[in-house]
Amino acid sequence: MTQLRKLQSISDFDQFVSEHTTFVICKHSTTCPISSAGFSEYTKYADTTSIPTAYLLIQEARTLSNHIAEHYNVRHESPQVLFVQDGRAVWTTSHYDITTDALKTHVG
């Protein structure tokens, strides 16, 4: 079981990436009911995995959210989960597809 880490800036993100070669990150909007449902599934998953997990709140960290989209060459969505291994987003999903089962299947 790992701790869900909140990222608020590009420097927070860079620090997290420097500590982990494999991780999962969730971009979450505090104003969207779909995002709330996805984030709830993500936190359930985070409570059961040994893989490092992090999240950011879009409203507080829009610059970071855009940076992650550009860094991993993925289209920005919210909510969105990215599974990163060795510097590449190897799996990403969004909206209602963010489920604990999907995370366990695709991430482990």
pTM exceeding the 0.85 threshold for the entire prediction:
yes
36-69 tens-digit pLDDT: 999 999 999 999 999 999 999 999 999 999 999 9
The DSSP string of the chain is --PEEE--SHHHHHHHHHH-SEEEEEEE-TT-HHHHHHHHHHHHHHTT-SS-EEEEETTT-HHHHHHHHHHTT----SSEEEEEETTEEEEEEEGGG--HHHHHHHT-
Whether residue 2 has pLDDT greater than 80: no
